[in-house]
Amino acid sequence: MTKKVLINEVGLRDGLQIQQKFVPTEGKLELGQALIDAGVRAFEAVSFVSPKAVPQMSTAGEVWAGLPMKDEIYYSALVLNEKGYDRAMDSGAKVVSMALASTNKMNEANIRLDLESASAMFVKLIKRAKDDGVETRGYVSTAMGCPYEGDVPVETVVELTKLMLDAGADKISIADTIGSAHPEQCKRIFATVVEKWGADIFGAHLHDTRALALPNAWAALEEGIREFDSSIGGLGGCPFAPGAKGNVATEDLVFMLEQSGYETGIDVGGLLRAVGVAERLVGLKLGGRITEWWLSQERKKAKAAAEAA
Ligand code: COA
Ligand code: ZN
């Protein structure tokens, strides 16, 4: 099985959407560039949602227009209704992601539709994307626990996955939106969907609320998953899902994978420089668990080099 793992950096969207401090377009682009410099080649870069609902994303069109568009970089944009889809098309997006939550209450909190109406709306949008030749990433969000309704049966995750695949979705990402999963649960969910559809079309989106995002990622990896969302410095959270903390930190995930012989093409030192950029932009101390240790090693190396010179 391949050792290559795709890291889909979601800091610019999931990471920033909850931040109080507004990050202007040039700041978002500076962070994007720092991540590209570190080797990141896949991004969920913006969401085209209501600027009243998520002010941080109000400049999505401008950000999208400023991104360095290169064949080797994969960008997706999150859309949650028809208006968002239209805006994404106007911006020239070639990949859209859509988040269908697993429960009535989460869909209602997020997009003011119950599960049935949300399902119908996303099916329509996925079909439209198919006709438009646009790639779709269907997210089954709150798949491992809902802040309003609690446990989510695996059967629901299977059902919503099937619904989006039947409509023509190209990829499905299973999301632990509030970080309530544990590795055994994560393993069970991925084992179930992988057995039905194979691992290649799936990705994992994991939050680190209870410090289990890395072991959860490992559990998914063992089931053959080779695509992960993560966020620089562990930024993130959903304003409509109480308790959701940041995504798994990109630097920690990349470090774990590289140490274990997987290939991400991403440089941890470069990611830590991007953490510095993100900290300056949001005015908060960020960073995964690897930061302190990594910097202490760098200091040691610099000291040894100075002594040898
Ligand atoms: N982009 C820009 N504006 C949008 C929009 C979009 N995708 N969707 C709706 N709007 C605007 C409408 O034009 C309207 O503006 P107005 O008040 O100036 O007339 C206003 O938002 C309300 O529109 P309506 O269709 O009644 O939507 P709503 O109030 O039922 O809200 C959503 C539904 C989905 C638009 C809104 O809740 C939303 O964007 N939520 C974001 C959820 C999110 O980002 N979650 C985190 C990621 S999963
Ligand atoms: Zn998320």
Q: Tokens 């993560």 belong to which residue?
A: 230
- pLDDT of 155 above 80: yes
Inter-CA distances, 47 with 51, 54, 118, 305, Å: 10, 9, 17, 45
Q: Is residue 161 part of a domain?
A: yes
As a whole number, mean pLDDT of residues 71-88 equals: 98
pLDDT digits (tens, 9 = 90+) for 12-28: 999 999 999 999 999 99
Domain count, the chain: 1
Which residues span the domain enclosing 63?
Answer: 6-308
As a whole number, mean pLDDT of residues 114-125 equals: 98
Q: Whose CA is nearest to atom 32 of ligand 1?
A: 111
The model's confidence at residue 133, banded by pLDDT at 50, 70 and 90, is: very high
- Cα 4 to middle of ligand 1, angstroms: 38
Tell me if 64 CB under 6 Å of ligand 1.
no
Q: Does 238 qualify as catalytic in the annotation?
A: yes
As a whole number, mean pLDDT of residues 154-181 equals: 98
* Per-residue pLDDT at 241: 79
Per cent of the chain over pLDDT 90 is 94
The model's confidence at residue 2, banded by pLDDT at 50, 70 and 90, is: confident
Kindly report the three-state secondary structure assignment for every residue of the chain.
CCCECEEEECHHHHHCCCCCCCCCHHHHHHHHHHHHHHCCCEEEEEEECCCCCCHHHCCHHHHHHHCCCCCCCEEEEEECCHHHHHHHHHHCCCEEEEEEECCHHHHHHHHCCCHHHHHHHHHHHHHHHHHHCCEEEEEEECCCCECCCECCCHHHHHHHHHHHHHHCCCEEEEEECCCCCCHHHHHHHHHHHHHHHCCCCEEEEEECCCCCHHHHHHHHHHCCCCEEEEEHHHCCCCCCCCCCCCECEHHHHHHHHHHCCCECCCCHHHHHHHHHHHHHHHCCCCCCCHHHHHHHHHHHHHHHHHHHC
* Per-residue pLDDT at 236: 86
- Cα 53 to middle of ligand 1, angstroms: 6
- pLDDT of 287 above 90: no
- Cα 256 to middle of ligand 1, angstroms: 38
* Per-residue pLDDT at 1: 82
Q: Whose CA is nearest to atom 43 of ligand 1?
A: 110
The model's confidence at residue 74, banded by pLDDT at 50, 70 and 90, is: very high
The model's confidence at residue 288, banded by pLDDT at 50, 70 and 90, is: confident
* Per-residue pLDDT at 245: 83
The model's confidence at residue 244, banded by pLDDT at 50, 70 and 90, is: confident
Nearest to 238 by CA among 201, 269, 209: 209
Q: Whose CA is nearest to atom 8 of ligand 1?
A: 50
* Per-residue pLDDT at 237: 74
* Per-residue pLDDT at 232: 97
The model's confidence at residue 266, banded by pLDDT at 50, 70 and 90, is: very high
Tell me if 80 CB under 6 Å of ligand 1.
yes
Q: Is residue 195 part of a domain?
A: yes
As a whole number, mean pLDDT of residues 88-109 equals: 98
Which residue type, as a one-letter code, is found at position 147? P
Mean pLDDT (the chain) is 96
Tell me if 185 CB under 6 Å of ligand 1.
no
Q: Whose CA is nearest to atom 21 of ligand 1?
A: 50
* Per-residue pLDDT at 239: 78
Task: Pick the ligand that lies closest to the CA of residue 99.
Answer: 1
Rounded Cα distance between 221 and 242, Å, is 28
Per cent of the chain over pLDDT 70 is 100
Q: Is residue 256 part of a domain?
A: yes
Q: Is residue 1 part of a domain?
A: no
Q: Is residue 83 part of a domain?
A: yes
The model's confidence at residue 251, banded by pLDDT at 50, 70 and 90, is: very high
Q: Is residue 209 part of a domain?
A: yes
Tell me if 47 CB under 6 Å of ligand 1.
yes
Tell me the whole-structure pTM to 2 decimals.
0.96
> Which CATH number belongs to the domain containing residue 189 in this structure?
3.20.20.70
Q: Is residue 99 part of a domain?
A: yes
Tell me if 240 CB under 6 Å of ligand 1.
yes
Q: Is residue 23 part of a domain?
A: yes
